[in-house]
Chain A
């Protein structure tokens, strides 16, 4: 797979991830991760495996995070691994309806699955 092919794949995966998060479907969010995936959150311990990821993303969605957006900066594929450097943004709306925006860098590592699909192996942001 050429890097420009993977760019298209990564862009599509970003849109699917954001769509699942923004409709508050944590199970759909977790379906984008490899069985051995790890999330490395800002300010918390690393989260390993699908069960822990379900709890993690359910908690993030329940905490009121909305409008998650992943924007690709650079992506490369090499054999069965690929990565994306990007930018993320999201917002939190508090009980008084005040909106606060957050953003930062994001790095996503993907592993090619037996069926040819790419799933997230590592996900870190700041």
Chain B
């Protein structure tokens, strides 16, 4: 009799554990897919604005308090300073920026993306174009209108 009770208790516990795992998976998967879908769209728009060399458009993809943490430069904060930063790189001939997502996550009003970036420096006066690339980390903040904008943009 005691054994039967133990088995019954164990069975209930196992069922509860399975239910918990299923609930977790059901909750976790759409979030992951949601973040991937949002980030995929944001990357495509960002890269497109870069190809167009439109610093004004790119700056609209950042939060009003957004920051860049450039490799080899001081941190840049705010829409105007960010527009000026990208404008300076376009003037130097940087183009063909491509973001390749490695991992995304969404927690509340924040999305993070770990990625790889690559870009091309146009060859001037017949010089060969140069390829650059590295690691990239982007943090996005949900805006009041439901859109997502970049809060921090760090690369190396």
Is B70 in contact with A105, judged by CB distance below 8 angstroms?
A: yes
**Residues of B45-103 whose CB lies within 8 A of A:** 67, 69-72, 75, 102-103
What are the residues of chain B within 8 A of A73 when measuring CB–CB? Answer: 75
Most buried by B among A80, A104, A106: A104
Is B110 in contact with A40, judged by CB distance below 8 angstroms?
A: no
How many Å lie between the Cα of A73 and that of B71 in the bound state? 16
How many Å lie between the Cα of A12 and that of B67 in the bound state? 23
Most buried by A among B70, B135, B139: B135
| Residue tally, chain B, CB below 8 Å to A | 26
Contact A43-B67, Cβ < 8 Å, known A38-B114, A78-B108: no
Report the minimal beta-carbon distance from B154 to chain A, rounded to whole angstroms. 4
Nearest A residue to B137 via CB reads: A124
Is B134 in contact with A46, judged by CB distance below 8 angstroms?
A: no
Most buried by A among B102, B110, B136: B110
Is B70 in contact with A126, judged by CB distance below 8 angstroms?
A: yes
Task: Encode A64-92 as 1/0 by CB contact (under 8 A) with B.
Answer: 00000000011010111101010000000
Tell me whether chain A's interface is mostly helix, strand or loop, or mixed.
strand
Is B107 in contact with A105, judged by CB distance below 8 angstroms?
A: no
Is A107 in contact with B69, judged by CB distance below 8 angstroms?
A: yes
What are the residues of chain A within 8 A of B71 when measuring CB–CB? Answer: 42, 104-105, 126
How many Å lie between the Cα of A73 and that of B65 in the bound state? 14
Is A126 in contact with B107, judged by CB distance below 8 angstroms?
A: no
What are the residues of chain B within 8 A of A26 when measuring CB–CB? Answer: none
Selected from A42, A85, A111, A122, the residue in CB contact (under 8 A) with B156 is A42
Is B135 in contact with A40, judged by CB distance below 8 angstroms?
A: yes
Is A42 in contact with B70, judged by CB distance below 8 angstroms?
A: no
Is A80 in contact with B108, judged by CB distance below 8 angstroms?
A: yes
Is A126 in contact with B109, judged by CB distance below 8 angstroms?
A: no
Report the minimal beta-carbon distance from A46 to chain B, rounded to whole angstroms. 6
Is A126 in contact with B139, judged by CB distance below 8 angstroms?
A: no
**Residues of A2-57 whose CB lies within 8 A of B:** 38, 40-43, 46
Sample (16) of A-B pairs whose CB atoms are under 8 Å apart: A40-B114, A40-B137, A42-B135, A43-B156, A76-B151, A78-B110, A79-B107, A81-B112, A83-B139, A105-B71, A105-B75, A105-B154, A122-B114, A124-B137, A124-B155, A126-B69
7 A-B pairs besides A85-B67, A111-B107, A124-B135 with CB distance below 8 A are A40-B135, A40-B136, A43-B134, A81-B112, A85-B75, A105-B75, A126-B155
A residues within 8 Å of B by Cβ?
Answer: 38, 40-43, 46, 73-74, 76, 78-81, 83, 85, 104-107, 109, 111, 121-122, 124-126
Kindly list the 8 A-B residue pairs having the minimum CB-CB distance in the complex, ordered from nearest: A126-B156, A126-B71, A42-B156, A40-B135, A105-B69, A79-B108, A107-B154, A124-B137
